[in-house]
Amino acid sequence: MSEENKSLFDIWGDNVNLKDLLIAMLICIGMTLGGYVIAPGEDPQPLIAGLVGGVIGFIISSIIIKPKREINDIEEES
């Protein structure tokens, strides 16, 4: 097992790097709470701002963190 494979964990059937997972979670949580706290006081606005913050956090983390998956295509001989 290579050194890179030792740092990967199986979560919901996918291999993830724990460090990258924690970074993505911190970005998304920070953006969600930031949107919720900054939103004006009426009832639906903090919810909408928090949801928008979560989506923006997801987009940012998907740009910053690159996939670790390697796909090997094996051709069959006929």
Label residue 31 exposed, middle or buried (CB < 10 Å: 0-12, 13-18, 19+).
Answer: buried
Write down the pLDDT at residue 75: 84
User: Does pLDDT of 13 surpass 60?
Assistant: yes
Domain that holds residue 26: 17-64
> Would the pLDDT of 4 be above 80?
no
Residue 4 included in any domain: no
pLDDT of 78 > 70? The answer is no
Residue 1 lies in a domain: no
pTM for the complete prediction? 0.76
Kindly state the average pLDDT of the residues 28-55: 94
Tell me whether residue 51 is in a domain: yes
- Residue 21 located in a structural domain: yes
pLDDT beyond 90 at 2: no
Number of domains observed in the structure of the chain: 1
Residue 24 lies in a domain: yes
Q: Is 5 inside a domain boundary?
A: no
Tell me, yes or no, whether 25 lies in a domain.
yes
Element (H, E) at 14: strand 14-17
pLDDT at residue 3, as a whole number: 62
Residue 77 inside a domain? The answer is: no
